Amino acid sequence: MKTSCDLTGRRALITGASRGIGRAVAELLADHGARVAVHYGADEQAAAHVLQGLSGEGHAMLTADLGDPVAAGDLAGRAAKELGGLDVVVNNAGIFVTHDIASLDHENWRKFWDRTIAVNLNGPAHLLHGAIPLLDAAGGGHIINVTSRGAYRGEPEAPAYGASKAGLNSLSQSLAVALAPRNIKVVGLAPGWVLTDMTRDYLEGPGGKAIRDQSPMKRTATADEIAHVVLMVVSGQADALSGAIIDINCASHLR
């Protein structure tokens, strides 16, 4: 899916942009003229590499622990200060930690649960609380929340992840209605497995075939495919999608 659009003058914050889906989104939006704030959590070197490779000028690089409510709440304002405003927010950053409710004591269960919810759900919520006035000041904009098919099919080995993504779906739809009068469009993207530099070894290893066989296409999505859906959403050519959760999983899970 390729969308022809000119994003010159648009300013976009992409969380988790040092690798994988976030990197692909940052590169594609920059290729179409946007100024991009590359957010990273820990890997400064990877984020700097992404920043240096972006097309155009005027980009920025920011770090923040999205599990910290204050840091998450301040991130949009910091991005807007660097970019001169904000038009697009892509909440892509997230963590996936396995934790078995039947075998963990409560202290460790709570640790895994609280950290996952803090980063994957509370972080985007706090970030968006800071971003909405900035999008409003720009006359509207687009919010894209990257969720997961796990919100629907479940994540038995990582229940906090599934719960966080289900919550992010609901947040996306709630905000789509609440923010429509402000000309702010909100869309959720729910990928399944995605082939990236992070998952390549696993998907090309012994367990990869079983994952690909979940799809009648016998494949997984790519980061570039996710990025092109983001481009379509922010292009302004498909604003009727606001409120939608778009499945991108090669027909591996239907609802």
CATH assignment of the domain containing 226? 3.40.50.720
- What's the confidence (pLDDT) of residue 1? 44
Rounded to the nearest 10°, the torsion over CA 51, 57, 58, 60 is: 0
Q: Would residue 146 count as lying in a domain?
A: yes
**Nearest to 163, CA basis, from 201, 109, 82:** 109
To the nearest 10 degrees (0 to 180), the angle between helices 223-234 and 20-31 is 50
Low-confidence ranges of the chain (pLDDT < 70): 1-4
Q: Is 161 a catalytic residue?
A: yes
CB burial readout 180-211, b (16+ within 10 A) else e: eeeebbbbbbbbbbbbbeebeeebeeeebeeb
Q: Which residue, among 84, 61, 52, has the nearest Cα to 14 in the 3D structure? A: 61
C-alpha 29 chain-centroid distance = 14
Q: Is residue 255 part of a domain?
A: no
pLDDT of amino acid 196: 86
Residue 189 phi, psi dihedral angles, 5° rounding: -115, 130
Which H or E element spans position 98? none
Flag whether 4 is in a domain: no
The domain in which residue 186 lies consists of 11-245
Q: What is the pTM for the complete model shown?
A: 0.95
- pLDDT for 4 equals 66
Is residue 127 within 8 A of residue 15, CB to CB? The reply is yes
For residue 181, is it within any domain?
Answer: yes
Cα 24 from Cα 181, distance rounded (Å): 31
pLDDT of residue 201: 85
Does residue 234 contact residue 9 with C-beta atoms inside 8 Å? no
| Residue 111 identity | K
Does residue 50 lie within any of the structural domains?
yes
Candidates 40, 152, 161, 202; catalytic one: 161
Number of structural domains (the chain) is 1
Give the residues across from 194 on adjacent strands.
Answer: 221
